[in-house]
Structure 1
Amino acid sequence: MTYIQKGSAEYIKASLALFFGGFVTFAILYTTQPLLPIFAKEFHVSAASASLTVSASTGTLAVMMLVAASLSDRIGKKNVMMMSMLLTSILAMAMAFSPNFTSLVLARTFLGMTAAGIPSLAMAYVAEEFHPTGIGKVMGLYISGTSIGGMAGRIVTGLLTDLFSWRTALFAIGAISLLLSVIFALILPTPRHSVKKPLNGKTALQAYAVHLRNKPLMALIVLGFLFMGGFVTLYNYIGFLLSEPPYSFSQSVLGFLFIVYIFGSFSSVYMGRQADLCGHARVLSISVVLAVLGAVVTLVPSVVVKIIGLSLFTFGFFGCHSIASAWIGERAKMNKAQASSLYLLFYYLGSSLAGTAGGYFWIHFHWPGVIAFVVALLLLSYPLIGYAHKQLE
């Protein structure tokens, strides 16, 4: 068995397929984020309640990823990822016809279940199939797909909502994702390093138990909660801030704010490569500093300065995510799919729990409260990074 080597046709196909996988997952998963102020007004719910259209998806996705990892041992990683993308795209289109807020949240809950296959298995696929010396860069390419998907999904949603309606926007995102899902299925190389195993609950629990007892690895896994919790909180509520006076931005303008995700696309590849060269802990710590600085800069009233702050925050976050993902993939010596799933369990629980909790800070302390919460989450990562570095490197 050979690894996928840089420069080969397989490398190009696999990298492109994983990019599409990240693109589709994040385009659909967070497509309602710029629509939260509209949902709050149209359905007469609070900001925290509106955020459930994001949190319900990420919460169920977090739990279902544990199932997806074990299911892949039985039927194969590629098969699970293909089914995940196709079903999620179809459900995303159906979601556009939700008659009320409750049905919308329920649809988003089921969407989280179907979307679990890609994020839990893409990281494991990279760790198993690509040559170890280039894992950081390839992981960065996958994560750049998530950043561009998140950006494109939000921009298209904003534009189509202003031109037509939020329902048209959601249907269009689902249709585009369905097309990319078919391409993914056609070009992703079949895994060669993973071995199919019987679907056994006891075996699956034992696989997770190995990682849960590994304290340094768990320190890295918990980072996902802190990073994603801060990231989603900031982006959930900045739409509320900028849709109010004195800004009063339209949905199109709010959607275009997410163009700063392009910095995340660059950061995930660049910082991943730097971590390969300079060490995970050092580059990860720098990425956290950049994210904290960016969050604080958004407190300045000027729109231009806020965008600069958002850009810096996004650059730092995607660097954090890329490095932590690659570090876990390298240090998990066995059951890599389960290790990736545990990281992403905490990652998406951070999105779900912290993203909704941020509504409390928005309601009671407005934007300074949101930023204080985000910064606190990010700073809590430092003792974990230090501990993991001491034990693993």
Structure 2
Amino acid sequence: MSAVTTPGRAALVRRVRLLVAATIGWNVVEAVVAISAGVGASSAALIGFGLDSVVEVSSAAAVAWQFAGRDPEARERVALRVIAVAFFALAAVVTTEALRLLLGGAEPRHSTVGLALAALSLAVMPVLSLAQRRAGRALGSASAVADSRQTLLCTYLSAVLLAGLLLNSTLGWWWADPLAALVIAAVAVHEGREAWRGTPAAAPRSSHRPAATTAPAATDRSSRPARPPGPGVGCPRADRQARRVTTGEWPGHQVGEPGFRRAATGVFLAGIAVFVSLYAPQSLLPELTRSFGVSPAASTLAISATTGALAVGLLVLGPLSDRRGRTGILHASLAASAALAVLIALAPTWEVLLVLRGLQGFALAGLPAVAVAYLREELHPRVSSRAIGLYVSGTAIGGLSGRLVSGFLTEVGGWRTALGGAAALTVGCAVAVRLLLPPSRRFIPVDRAGRLLRQLGAAFTDPALLALYGVAALLMGGFVAVYNAVTFRLESPPYSLTPALVGLVFLAYLLGSASSPTAGWLADRAGRRVVVPLCLVVMGAGIALTLPTPLWCVIAGLCVLTVGFFAAHGVASGWVAARAHRGGRPVGQAASLYSFWYYVGSSVGGTLAGRAWQEGGWPWVALLAGGCTLAALLLTVLLGRTRPLGVR
């Protein structure tokens, strides 16, 4: 740990303490909820999951004890042994529960609370594990890294628990959970052995740099520039401050600085807030149909009105932010969205709800219109991509959380309670963003009013860009059509699933989040002109797989469709930026137009899906989505005949 400077090490130690405290707090809540729900549902898996949380608290407490002392290194070995014992105890608990189930234990009943807890844990624990592992590696602390492994193991257990509860609730496959739990137990034994042996953590990157051991040569003080305030000689932060003093330029927030953490966290929470509000009603469409007495086709307007207004808002708020500033637009967007979210939960009539959703869609456009530009301006160029990736993760988590939370709360108190819960989450995130987000320091206003029409015209002169805009609309139209209509299908016979269970189908989005970077990797090697059509073929296969009646076919089809959609969308959106750049056209304008047509497709496809379901059931919905996919495939064939401009 000597390679880390004293101030930097102190900050890392504080971070580890906070992460450990968060892990302990989460696991205490998780243990209480899981054990209570397990006893109520006679679920050995839930009880075992709760006991696992108790074991994890002991591991986190060991790390907290280590870093509470003045010399954490002196306590390293004892902490590792405690963590190892916790791993072994975890394996014993999981194995015992799994064998008890396999040898004839009572079959568990359906537990909505257990399903919600497992899904939420699956989203929270990877974030805690990754943050703790990074801090532990930066410190060179084997115990912190070992505890992060145990936190990651909880993610696997959450997935196993979720799969077991879901399969038991839908298909009656009670034996799936204990079999998978035995695999997790074997992994726990392996990790326990590694911790017992004291496998060292990866050394921080800075350890390869020689430390400054000599003082600078004596010079005339009058000719030496003033020393910038900072931790001392050889400290990266002091070096950055010195460069700012001598050059008069500020390069932007960098990793390790409070400004970077505040900016990245603020935009991450903003992404959650916006996409919770945007997609919370999607799992409630059947409930809205019953409550307001509207048709399934009309109920889809709760989504389509918002995405359509968002598309329009992108064209207005993007150029406005270039003239008026980023943070003002972002804060106003979140404040208006949060206020409208509260009003939507109280809407007295269907017409009022649609008007409020349309206004909310326009307000929500403030974040996607300015988020990437803000991060690129305020963060150092070397780290802005990292923060942008975190923002994209926030949008994915927000969209998923909105659907899951609303589906769960609908069973508790109806659609108003569900949208009220989503509104509370939006308000909380908006307040946090207001407190966290640093003000703009590098924004330079640009009057684009005179150039806007010329830039729009330039973006429409390339046939390849036009084709990609069409691909965006067709991709999203087909995708939203399926997910809007599948809620009606799964709540109808022969499935008759509850809203909470229907909301869980959106967990397929996690597969899509993994397929997008994989497709990007393939595109770098095989070319976009090859990868995008292949992704569209995968989408078509997923749509076809949803046609048979068995539930497992429907779920598998949704997963395949989601993988293909996110892969195609990720590559196509990057294709737009690359094509515009190589052609000398405004990249930002081209990307905004891609997003515009993307949400136009969402609005139109979502509306048509309701009509298709109402008129012809699922075959018509599949025909609509399949037609969109086929049309997008034909456009990619046309793309193959356009002039490359150096872009594959």
8 Å contact kept, 2:407–2:502: yes
The change in CA–CA distance for 1:348 and 1:148 in structure 2 (over 3 A counts) is same
8 Å contact kept, 2:315–2:596: yes
- For residues 297-336 of structure 1, what are the structure 2 equivalents within 5 Å? 297-333=545-581, 335-336=586-587
2:503 corresponds to 1:255 = yes
Structure 1 residue aligned with 2:321, among 72, 81, 85?
72
Distance (Å, rounded) in 2 between the aligned partners of 1:56 and 1:91? 14
Q: More helix per residue: 1 or 2?
A: 1
8 Å contact kept, 1:271–1:322: yes
Distance (Å, rounded) in 2 between the aligned partners of 1:33 and 1:102? 17
2:410 corresponds to 1:161 = yes
- Provide the TM-score with structure 1 as the length reference: 0.88
2:591 corresponds to 1:343 = no
Give the corresponding residue for 2:182: none
Give the corresponding residue for 1:106: 355
8 Å contact kept, 1:136–1:275: no
Give the corresponding residue for 1:29: 278
Question: Counterpart amino acid of 1:212?
Answer: F
Distance (Å, rounded) in 2 between the aligned partners of 1:50 and 1:257? 19
TM-fit CA distance, 1:238:
0.6
Larger mean CA deviation between 69-78 and 130-139 belongs to: 130-139
Larger mean CA deviation between 139-148 and 109-118 belongs to: 139-148
The change in CA–CA distance for 1:308 and 1:50 in structure 2 (over 3 A counts) is same
The change in CA–CA distance for 1:167 and 1:339 in structure 2 (over 3 A counts) is same
SS at match of 2:617: helix
TM-fit CA distance, 1:301:
1.2
Larger mean CA deviation between 383-392 and 159-168 belongs to: 383-392
Distance (Å, rounded) in 1 between the aligned partners of 2:270 and 2:525? 27
Question: Counterpart amino acid of 1:76?
Answer: G
8 Å contact kept, 1:295–1:310: yes
8 Å contact kept, 2:288–2:415: no
8 Å contact kept, 2:263–2:375: no
TM-fit CA distance, 1:131:
9.1
Give the corresponding residue for 1:363: 614
- Provide the TM-score with structure 2 as the length reference: 0.55
Which protein has the larger Cα radius of gyration, Structure 1 or Structure 2?
2
TM-fit CA distance, 1:145:
3.1
Question: Counterpart amino acid of 1:43?
Answer: F
Question: Counterpart amino acid of 1:206?
Answer: R
Question: Counterpart amino acid of 1:77?
Answer: R
Distance (Å, rounded) in 2 between the aligned partners of 1:315 and 1:12? 31
8 Å contact kept, 1:18–1:142: yes
TM-fit CA distance, 1:213:
1.8
Q: What CA deviation, in whole Å up to 9, does each residue of 1:178-220 have, x standing for no partner?
A: 32234445555667886421362x4322221221222222222
Question: Counterpart amino acid of 1:355?
Answer: G
- For residues 5-44 of structure 1, what are the structure 2 equivalents within 5 Å? 16-44=265-293
Q: Which has the higher contact order (CA 8 A, sep 6+)?
A: 1
SS at match of 1:354: helix
The change in CA–CA distance for 1:143 and 1:384 in structure 2 (over 3 A counts) is farther
SS at match of 1:145: helix
**Which consecutive residues of structure 1, in runs of 5 or more, have no partner in the other structure?**
none
Distance (Å, rounded) in 2 between the aligned partners of 1:385 and 1:139? 28
The change in CA–CA distance for 1:126 and 1:229 in structure 2 (over 3 A counts) is farther
Structure 1 residue aligned with 2:294, among 45, 69, 88?
45
TM-fit CA distance, 1:382:
2.4
Question: Counterpart amino acid of 1:365?
Answer: G
TM-fit CA distance, 1:321:
2.1
Question: Counterpart amino acid of 2:568?
Answer: C
SS at match of 1:32: helix
8 Å contact kept, 2:252–2:377: no
**Which consecutive residues of structure 2, in runs of 5 or more, have no partner in the other structure?**
1-248
Distance (Å, rounded) in 2 between the aligned partners of 1:290 and 1:136? 29
Distance (Å, rounded) in 1 between the aligned partners of 2:376 and 2:523? 15
Aligned residues: 392
8 Å contact kept, 1:147–1:264: no
Question: Counterpart amino acid of 1:260?
Answer: A
TM-fit CA distance, 1:53:
0.8
8 Å contact kept, 1:292–1:375: yes
Question: Counterpart amino acid of 1:160?
Answer: L
TM-fit CA distance, 1:75:
1.4
The change in CA–CA distance for 1:126 and 1:211 in structure 2 (over 3 A counts) is farther
CA RMSD of aligned residues (A): 3.0
Question: Counterpart amino acid of 1:166?
Answer: W
Distance (Å, rounded) in 1 between the aligned partners of 2:443 and 2:535? 32
Larger mean CA deviation between 205-214 and 29-38 belongs to: 205-214
2:516 corresponds to 1:265 = no
Distance (Å, rounded) in 1 between the aligned partners of 2:269 and 2:334? 10
Give the corresponding residue for 2:37: none
Distance (Å, rounded) in 2 between the aligned partners of 1:361 and 1:158? 23
TM-fit CA distance, 1:124:
5.1
Larger mean CA deviation between 291-300 and 131-140 belongs to: 131-140
TM-fit CA distance, 1:361:
1.9
8 Å contact kept, 2:478–2:625: yes
Give the corresponding residue for 1:379: 630
2:436 corresponds to 1:149 = no
Question: Counterpart amino acid of 1:34?
Answer: S
TM-fit CA distance, 1:57:
0.8
Give the corresponding residue for 1:181: 430
TM-fit CA distance, 1:314:
1.2
The change in CA–CA distance for 1:210 and 1:126 in structure 2 (over 3 A counts) is farther
8 Å contact kept, 1:127–1:336: no
Distance (Å, rounded) in 2 between the aligned partners of 1:303 and 1:173? 28
The sequence identity of aligned pairs, in percent, is: 36
Distance (Å, rounded) in 1 between the aligned partners of 2:527 and 2:378? 22
2:311 corresponds to 1:62 = yes
SS at match of 1:98: coil
8 Å contact kept, 1:121–1:340: no
The change in CA–CA distance for 1:31 and 1:330 in structure 2 (over 3 A counts) is same
